C-alpha cells in the first residue's frame, strides 16, 4: 500500500471509525516473533482496586517482580495483578488468572515469591500475619493452585525463597526503615522454620510490625543498610534526605548462588525515588555472614525514560544468561504507581555480580543463545523522537490535581498539569498528552525533522480519566500507524485495528525497516478513559553523523562528603544526551547515568573509602560518540 486513498485519510483525520481488518503489512507481521523488547515490560498491568491507598483515581500499577523458568517457559509474578503472566520468549506475555487471590483487596499478591521444586511451582505473597497459604501447582497455565500449607508459619513481608543444592529451603524477608532483612531455614513439607519452636511462639504472638521482624532462634539478620558509607542507600529524591523521615528503607530480598558463593540481593532506598536500586552482599553460606560487594549498587538506573531498577529478582534464561528485574516509577497519581523493567545481568570473570542498564529503555536483544552481558544486549537502535514536534487532533485542558511527584512523606502536593503535545516526546514517563475524547479517529503525529530509518516504536499509554478498577478481560487497545515523507502521502505500516490484547506499553518491532519523516498514530479503541499517551517513542537510525566525543569531562568529588560528586562536561551541539559510566575498576564500569539536554549532574551515589573510575559518551539519533578516557576519582 503506497498511498492511503484521500477519502480514507480524510475519514481518519475527521474522526470516523474506519473498520480496516487487521492485516500483515509490508513492514509489520503480527505473527512473526520479535527479536527485541523495550522497557517497561509490555504486560497488561492491572488497575488498582477502588480507593486503593485512599486514592480514588483509577490507575495501573505493579512492582516487585519475580521471573522464573518452569518447564522451559518464563513466569512473571508481581504485586496485585489478580494472576500472573507467562511467555516463551520474554517478549509476548500471556495472562492467567490465579486462584490464590482470596479477597480483592487483600495482600495475597503483594511482593510475591515464587520458586520451583522438581515439577511443582510454588507461590506465596507478603503478610504481616500468619494467614497466607503456600500455594502450589504442576500446571500453572490452568490457573488452578492448591494449598501446600494452609497458613504460612512466618509473618513475612517481601519474601524470597531459595533451595540450595543440598535441597535445603530458605526464606528471606523484610521491609523496614529500621530493621535488616532476615533469613531462616524452613521445612519444605510443613513450612515450619527449623530451630527452637519456643522462640517462634514469641514471634507468632508479636503484634507490632517492627516486632514481627526481630530475629528469634534461628532467624538471622542477613543484610542491613549503611547509608552513612553508601551514598546510593540514602533516602530521598536524589539521595538527599538525612535523616530519613521513615528510616533507611530496605526490602526486596533475593538470593542467587554462583560458583559456590551466595549473593544476597536487596532493594533500597525507596520505590518512589529515581535512585531505587538493587544492591548485593556476598557470603559462603545461605544464612551468611555476608559482605558488601565493592561494586554496588548491582542494578541502577536513575536517568532516562524508565527510572528505577530496585526490588526485583535475578534469573537465568533458557540459554544460561542472567537477567535482573526491577521496579520503575511513575509516582504521579500515587507514589506506588509503578511499572516493571528487566535488564541483562551476570557475573564477570572475577565473579562480580552486575546488571547492565546502559540504554536500558531502548530496544534490547532477546536471547537466542549463550552470550556475555558485560557489554549489555543493546539492539543498536537509537531514539529518533526526542523533543520532536508533535501535532494532534485535540488536547485536553490543563487542570489542578493532587500528585505524588514530589512526595517526601505523605504530604499532599497539588500541581497544575497540562496535557501538551510536547509531553509526547519529552522522555518523561511522568508527563503525558491527552486528547479531549477516547473516540476513534483521534490522532497524534510526530515530525522527525528529516527522513530517518525506523525499526521499532513504543506507545506508552497514560491512564487519564480511566474508569476501570481491578482486572477485567475486555481491556484492549486498537490503532494504526501510518508513515510519510511529506505528511501528504501515507503508508499504512502497522495495523492493529483488530487487536484484542491489553498492551499499555505496546512495543512494535518492524519486520523490516522503513525510511520516513512523519509518523502518525490513529486511535481506534482505547482501553479506559481518554486517548492519552505518555511518550510516543520511535527507534532506529537517524541517517546522519554520530556526535563528536565529549570534551572537558570533570568529576569533582566532595572533599567533606565523599559520597557526593559534581560531574560536568562541555555540551555537544550534535548530541541528544549523554551516558556517564562509572565503576570500581577500569574494566568494571557497569553502572551508568543517562542525562538528556544538559552538561552537569549532581551525583550522590558513591561509597566512601572507594576509588571510582568515570567516563562519558554523547549520543544522538545516529549513534554514540567515542567514550572518553577513564578518570580515576579518589
Q: Dump strand ranges (E) for 296-442.
A: 314-316, 322-329, 338-347, 353-355, 364-365, 382-383, 389-392, 399-403, 413-417, 433-434
With a cut of 50, say whether residue 7 has pLDDT above it.
no
CB count within 10 Å of CB 288 equals 17
With a cut of 90, say whether residue 475 has pLDDT above it.
yes
What average pLDDT does the segment 577-593 reach? 98
How would you class 169 by CB atoms within 10 Å of its CB: exposed for 0-12, middle for 13-18, buried for 19 or more? buried
With a cut of 80, say whether residue 411 has pLDDT above it.
no
CB count within 10 Å of CB 103 equals 7
pLDDT computed for residue 9 by the predictor: 44
| Segment among 392-401, 408-417, 588-597 with least mean pLDDT | 408-417
Q: Mean pLDDT, the chain, as a whole number?
A: 90
pLDDT computed for residue 408 by the predictor: 52
User: What percentage of the chain has pLDDT greater than the value 70?
Assistant: 90
With a cut of 80, say whether residue 248 has pLDDT above it.
yes
Is 199:217 a contact under the CB 8 Å cutoff? yes
Whole-model pTM: value is 0.92
pLDDT computed for residue 402 by the predictor: 73
CA distance 479 to 494: 8
With a cut of 70, say whether residue 211 has pLDDT above it.
no
Tell me the β-bridge partners of 76: 67, 85
Is 141:84 a contact under the CB 8 Å cutoff? no
What does DSSP say about strands 290-292 and 277-283: parallel, antiparallel, or unpaired?
antiparallel
Q: Which comes out higher in pLDDT, residue 588 or 132?
A: 588
What average pLDDT does the segment 87-112 reach? 84
CA distance 104 to 49: 7
CA distance 578 to 125: 40
CB count within 10 Å of CB 342 equals 24
In the three-class reduction of DSSP (H, G, I as helix; E, B as strand; rest coil), residue 212 is classed as helix
pLDDT computed for residue 131 by the predictor: 72
634 — pLDDT class (breaks 50, 70, 90): very high
Is 443:427 a contact under the CB 8 Å cutoff? no
Q: Dump strand ranges (E) for 78-200.
A: 83-87, 94-97, 113-117, 120-124, 134-137, 146-149, 160-163, 169-173, 181-186
For 489-528, the pLDDT digits (tens) are 999 999 999 999 999 999 999 999 999 999 999 999 999 9
For 560-583, the pLDDT digits (tens) are 999 999 999 999 999 999 999 999
With a cut of 60, say whether residue 203 has pLDDT above it.
no
With a cut of 80, say whether residue 105 has pLDDT above it.
no
> Containing H/E element for 200?
helix 197-205
Output the CA torsion sign for 410, 607, 294, 551: positive
pLDDT computed for residue 196 by the predictor: 52
What average pLDDT does the segment 481-486 reach? 98
For 161-172, the pLDDT digits (tens) are 999 999 999 999
Q: Which domains does the chain have, with CATH numbers?
A: 6-30+383-541 (2.60.120.260), 63-344+352-380 (2.115.10.20), 554-633 (2.60.40.10)
5 — pLDDT class (breaks 50, 70, 90): very low
pLDDT computed for residue 22 by the predictor: 56
100 — pLDDT class (breaks 50, 70, 90): confident
What average pLDDT does the segment 239-245 reach? 93
For 300-348, the pLDDT digits (tens) are 999 999 999 999 999 999 999 999 999 999 999 999 999 999 999 999 9
209 — pLDDT class (breaks 50, 70, 90): very low
pLDDT computed for residue 17 by the predictor: 39
What average pLDDT does the segment 366-371 reach? 97
pLDDT computed for residue 212 by the predictor: 39
With a cut of 70, say whether residue 149 has pLDDT above it.
yes
What average pLDDT does the segment 75-99 reach? 94
Is 57:417 a contact under the CB 8 Å cutoff? no
In the three-class reduction of DSSP (H, G, I as helix; E, B as strand; rest coil), residue 14 is classed as helix
What average pLDDT does the segment 115-137 reach? 87
Q: Cell numbers for 106, please give them.
A: 487483600
Tracing cell 546488571 back to the chain, one arrives at: 355
Is 153:190 a contact under the CB 8 Å cutoff? yes
Q: CA-based Rg of the chain, rounded to a whole angstrom? A: 24
404 — pLDDT class (breaks 50, 70, 90): low
Q: Cell numbers for 448, please give them.
A: 522527525
CB count within 10 Å of CB 619 equals 22
Q: Of 164, 112, 163, 162, nearest to 133 (Cα)?
A: 112
CA distance 192 to 201: 11
Tell me the β-bridge partners of 581: 592, 615
Q: Cell numbers for 523, please give them.
A: 486511535
For 412-437, the pLDDT digits (tens) are 677 788 899 999 999 999 999 999 99
Q: In the chain, what is the straight-line distance between the N-terminal and C-terminal CA atoms, in Å?
A: 61
Amino acid at each position: 500500500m503506497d498511498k492511503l486513498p484521500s477519502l480514507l485519510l480524510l475519514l481518519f483525520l475527521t474522526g470516523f471509525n474506519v473498520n480496516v481488518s487487521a492485516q500483515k503489512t509490508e513492514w509489520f507481521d503480527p505473527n512473526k516473533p520479535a527479536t527485541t523488547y523495550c522497557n517497561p515490560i509490555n504486560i497488561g498491568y492491572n488497575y488498582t482496586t477502588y480507593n486503593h491507598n485512599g486514592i480514588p483515581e483509577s490507575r495501573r500499577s505493579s512492582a516487585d517482580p519475580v521471573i522464573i523458568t518452569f518447564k522451559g517457559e518464563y513466569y512473571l509474578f508481581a504485586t496485585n495483578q489478580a494472576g500472573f503472566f507467562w511467555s516463551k520468549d520474554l517478549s509476548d506475555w500471556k495472562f492467567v488468572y490465579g486462584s490464590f487471590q482470596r479477597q480483592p483487596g487483600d495482600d495475597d499478591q503483594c511482593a510475591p515469591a515464587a520458586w520451583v521444586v522438581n515439577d511443582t511451582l510454588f507461590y506465596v505473597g507478603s503478610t504481616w500475619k500468619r494467614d497466607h497459604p503456600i500455594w502450589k501447582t504442576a500446571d500453572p497455565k490452568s490457573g488452578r493452585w492448591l494449598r501446600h500449607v494452609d497458613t504460612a508459619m512466618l509473618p513475612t513481608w517481601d519474601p524470597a525463597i531459595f533451595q540450595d543444592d543440598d535441597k535445603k529451603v530458605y526464606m528471606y524477608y523484610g521491609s523496614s526503615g529500621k530493621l535488616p532483612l532476615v533469613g531462616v531455614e524452613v521445612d519444605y513439607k510443613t513450612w515450619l522454620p527449623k530451630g527452637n519452636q519456643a522462640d517462634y511462639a514469641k514471634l507468632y504472638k508479636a503484634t507490632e510490625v517492627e516486632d514481627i521482624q526481630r530475629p528469634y532462634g534461628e532467624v538471622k539478620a542477613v543484610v542491613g543498610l549503611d547509608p552513612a558509607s553508601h551514598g546510593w542507600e540514602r533516602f530521598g529524591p536524589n539521595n538527599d534526605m538525612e535523616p530519613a523521615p521513615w528510616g533507611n528503607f530496605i526490602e526486596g530480598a533475593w538470593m542467587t548462588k554462583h560458583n559456590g558463593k551466595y549473593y544476597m540481593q536487596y532493594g533500597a532506598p525507596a520505590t518512589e525515588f529515581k535512585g531505587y536500586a538493587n544492591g548485593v552482599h556476598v557470603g559462603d553460606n545461605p544464612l551468611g555472614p555476608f559482605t558488601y560487594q565493592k561494586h554496588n549498587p548491582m542494578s541502577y538506573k536513575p536517568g532516562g525514560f524508565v527510572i528505577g531498577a530496585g526490588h526485583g529478582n535475578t534469573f537465568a534464561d533458557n540459554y544460561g544468561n542472567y537477567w535482573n528485574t526491577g521496579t520503575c516509577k511513575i509516582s504521579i497519581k500515587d507514589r506506588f504507581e509503578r511499572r516493571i523493567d528487566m535488564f541483562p545481568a551476570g557475573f564477570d570473570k572475577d565473579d562480580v555480580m552486575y546488571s547492565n542498564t546502559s540504554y536500558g529503555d531502548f530496544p534490547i536483544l532477546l536471547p537466542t543463545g549463550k552470550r556475555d552481558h558485560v557489554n549489555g544486549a543493546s539492539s543498536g537502535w537509537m531514539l529518533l523522537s526526542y523533543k520532536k514536534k508533535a501535532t494532534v487532533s485535540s488536547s485536553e485542558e490543563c487542570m489542578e490535581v493532587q500528585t505524588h511527584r514530589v512526595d517526601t512523606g505523605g504530604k499532599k502536593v497539588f500541581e497544575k498539569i497540562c496535557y501538551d503535545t510536547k509531553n509526547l516526546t519529552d522522555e518523561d514517563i511522568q508527563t503525558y498528552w491527552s486528547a479531549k475524547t477516547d473516540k476513534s479517529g483521534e490522532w497524534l503525529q510526530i515530525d522527525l525533522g528529516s527522513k530517518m530509518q525506523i525499526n521499532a516504536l513504543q506507545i506508552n499509554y497514560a491512564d487519564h480519566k480511566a474508569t476501570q478498577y481491578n482486572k477485567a478481560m475486555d481491556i484492549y487497545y486498537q490503532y494504526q500507524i501510518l508513515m510519510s515523507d511529506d505528511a501528504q502521502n501515507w503508508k499504512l505500516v502497522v495495523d492493529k485495528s483488530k487487536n484484542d490484547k491489553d498492551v499499555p506499553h505496546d512495543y512494535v518491532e518492524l519486520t523490516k525497516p522503513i525510511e520516513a519523516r512523519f509518523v502518525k498514530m490513529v486511535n481506534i479503541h482505547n482501553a479506559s478513559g481518554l486517548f492519552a499517551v505518555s511518550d510516543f517513542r520511535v527507534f532506529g537510525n537517524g541517517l546522519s553523523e554520530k556526535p563528536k566525543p565529549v570534551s572537558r569531562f570533570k568529576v569533582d568529588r566532595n572533599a567533606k562528603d565523599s559520597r557526593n560528586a559534581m560531574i560536568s562536561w562541555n555540551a555537544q551541539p550534535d548530541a541528544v544526551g549523554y551516558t556517564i559510566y562509572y565503576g570500581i575498576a577500569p574494566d568494571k564500569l557497569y553502572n551508568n547515568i543517562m542525562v538528556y539536554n544538559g552538561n552537569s549532574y549532581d551525583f550522590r551515589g558513591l561509597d566512601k573509602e572507594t576509588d571510582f573510575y568515570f567516563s562519558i559518551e554523547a549520543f544522538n539519533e545516529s549513534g554514540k560518540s567515542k567514550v572518553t578516557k577513564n578518570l580515576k576519582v579518589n
